[in-house]
Amino acid sequence: MNSIDAAWQALRHHKDKIQSVSLNQLFARDGRRFESFSLRLGDLLVDFSKNLITEETLRLLRQTSERADLAQRREATLSGAKVNISEDRAALHTALRAPREAVIKVDGRNIVPDVHGALDRTRAFADAVRNGSVTGAHGAAFRDVVHIGIGGSVLGPAMITQALTPYHHERIRVHFVSNVDGAHLHDTLRELEPETTLFLIASKTFTTQETMLNADSARRWITEALGEDAVARHFAALSSNFEAATRFGIPGERTFAFWDWVGGRYSSWSAVGLPVAIAIGPDGFAALLAGARHMDEHFASAPLEENIPATLGLIGVWYRSILGYASSAIIPYDQRLSRLTAHLQQVDMESNGKSRRLDGTPVTQPTAGVVWGGAGTNVQHSFFQLLHQGSDIVPVDFLVAAQPHEDMPGHHDMLLANCLAQSQALMTGRSLEEAKALLLAEGMVPANATALAPHRTFEGNRPSTTLLYRKLDPRTLGMLIALYEHKVLVQGALWGINSFDQWGVELGKELANRLLPAIKGATPEVADGSTLGLLDDLRRMRDV
């Protein structure tokens, strides 16, 4: 057995040890468990102590990561090596938040001056939209900005923009349209005026069919109201495909470029973040980048024992690949982070939802599980039942700010109490005896208490991590997003997969293109019985 296989084997053996002890027992044995299993960076505290781990678990996970060459993979990625081997590209989103004086080379050329040049252009345009010096065709300042994109070209900026609502410009409203379902664009435009609306078309390739159709419809909305010449004033492109943006009618000075080494799901830090810069201002955007940079520096230099993204990633591998948990939940106790899960679903599942190793051979253990979640406290009243008493164990990440932005008596105290209570309840549970004693104390007759107690019992021992920070400001948000990006890198390294391609999304796109003529009435090219049957009924219902 080679050394990496031996490391995985050691983790599998260790599983029995962990399963014979509960979190309650681990806390009872070690009065300093919280201190020993918490890590801090600036105003961010990450409490790992409620996870099903011991020092030995972490030691074995670190040993596995050493044998999987995590440090080399991290170094190669951060320094611009072409780690995305199936597309022959670097994965250098970290360069987008590098300081001006940094030197990061791709193909022997320092790319940092290009990054800062692009950032300066973005900053100037965002400022001009905000102060009204860039206007629509009739000279009016823009009041609404509609960002059109899909996947990585919208999930990050939409999430960040919503998260930072308290920092928004008071005149400008930013909207996001992604779905090719015409309802999305239609309902967004219903209350907007063409004269005061600016469209940002965000597409790395500028060929994604949903985005292009939405962009064409937006273009028609503008030209019908303001004429063809208005396109150059009412549109900007955020793309690596300069030529396609020009063909669409967007002038060069309105095209904000980024590079092939910026993956879609990591592109919020690039020109794709323009709606964020317009909403919160270039200084706010700089603070977001600075927060991410702080996390990058920590990830690059902190020893594994103190490294927050590495620890989060390793514990995730432990749950997924060794304990076999099929999913994990992200639960921000923050209404403005209600889009965080959707963003992290793409970052995690599009990156590590792979079953081939870098060399093309099948993986040897389960890779990324399902990421799901939503904002607390709302989700306590929907799926938390399953988290507490369901037959699957779902590790949870709780995220919460110590301070709110609003001065609303009682609200934040209650939010915090609920957040802490949930992780406590998941861990401590309630035994059959305790449940029965409580029912008896409430005055229930013993026979009824005995019958009801099993339903009122909580197994407990359900793991969670809590991320606590002072306030959800741009810098903190930058740190949090970068933390999850690096977590995914760590996991990809352990699994030996390419975290930076996404070939799995291609087949469906191809088949949709082939099916489109049949939807419009042509004879279908496909022959599978179900699709043919569906097309038949579809035609009948559409009277085609």
Structure tokens at 334: 């923050």
Nearer to ligand F6P, 258 or 299 (CB): 258
> Could you tell me the smallest distance in angstroms from the CB atom of residue 79 to ligand F6P?
23
- Assess 437 for contact with ligand F6P (CB under 6 A): no
Task: Using the rule CB under 6 A, give the single segment among 43-51, 126-134, 199-207, 402-410 that binds ligand F6P.
Answer: 199-207
Residue 509 known to be catalytic: yes
> 217: part of which helix (H) or strand (E)?
helix 209-226
Return the residue of 77, 208, 270, 498 that touches ligand F6P, per CB under 6 A: 208
Asked about 93 being catalytic, the answer comes back as no
Q: Which of 411, 471, 509, 520 is catalytic?
A: 509
Q: Extract the tokens encoding 313.
A: 């990633």
Q: What are the DSSP calls for 12-54, one per residue? A: HHHHHHHHTS-HHHHHHH-TTHHHHTEEEETTEEEE-TTSS--
Q: Does 309 bind ligand F6P (CB under 6 A)?
A: no
Angle of helix 474-495 relative to helix 70-78, nearest 10 degrees, comes to: 130
d(CA 169, CA 143): 10
CB of 155 to ligand F6P, least distance (A): 8
CB of 205 or CB of 431, closer to ligand F6P:
205
Tell me the angle at which helices 112-131 and 282-301 cross, rounded to the nearest 10 degrees: 150
Query: Taking CB under 6 A as the rule, does residue 487 contact ligand F6P?
Result: no
C-alpha–C-alpha distance, residues 536 and 525, integer Å? 13
66 is catalytic: no
Q: Which stretch binds ligand F6P (CB under 6 A): 1-9, 157-165, 202-210, 325-333?
A: 202-210
Nearer to ligand F6P, 272 or 449 (CB): 272
Site string for ligand F6P, 131-160 (x = CB under 6 A): -------------------xxxx-------
Query: What is the nearest approach in angstroms of ligand F6P to the Cβ of residue 350?
Result: 6
Shortest distance (Å) from residue 73 CB to ligand F6P: 21
153 vs 499 by CB, closer to ligand F6P: 153
Q: Which of 38, 63, 165, 205 binds ligand F6P (CB under 6 A)?
A: 205
For residue 415, the surrounding DSSP H or E stretch is: helix 411-428
Cβ–Cβ < 8 Å for 362, 406: no
Nearest by Cα to 176 from 83, 238, 87, 124: 238
Q: What is the C-alpha to C-alpha distance for residues 433 and 411, in angstroms, rounded to an integer?
A: 34
Give least dist CB 356 to ligand F6P, A. Answer: 18
Identified binder of ligand F6P from the candidate list 264, 281, 309, 373, rule CB under 6 A: 264
Report in angstroms how near the CB of residue 259 gets to ligand F6P at its nearest: 13
* Cβ-contact 195, 136 below 8 angstroms: yes
Catalytic-role residue among 175, 195, 294, 350 = 350
Please state whether beta strands 44-47 and 464-469 pair in parallel, antiparallel, or not at all (unpaired): antiparallel
CA distance 57 to 23: 14
Strands, E, within 193-233: which ranges?
Answer: 197-202
Report the candidate in 375, 491, 475 with the shortest Cα–Cα distance to residue 41.
Answer: 475
C-alpha to C-alpha distances, 437 to 66, 421, 454, nearest whole angstrom: 50, 21, 12
Nearest to ligand F6P by Cβ — which residue? 264
Q: What is the three-class DSSP state of 466?
A: strand
Closest to ligand F6P by CB, 89 vs 436, is 89
Residues 345-364 that bind ligand F6P (CB under 6 A): 350
291 near ligand F6P (CB under 6 A):
no
Q: Which of 73, 123, 265, 412 binds ligand F6P (CB under 6 A)?
A: 265
Q: Does 275 bind ligand F6P (CB under 6 A)?
A: no
Rank residues 162 and 208 by Cβ distance to ligand F6P and give the closer one: 208
Closest CA to 205 of 506, 537, 544: 506
Edge-to-edge strands, sheet with 44-47: 38-41, 44-47, 464-469, 396-401, 327-332, 370-373
Selected from 211, 352, 428, 466, the binder of ligand F6P by CB under 6 A is 211
**Catalytic residue positions, numbered:** 350, 381, 509
**Where along the sequence are the contacts to ligand F6P (CB under 6 A)?**
150-153, 203-205, 208, 211, 264-265, 350, 502, 505
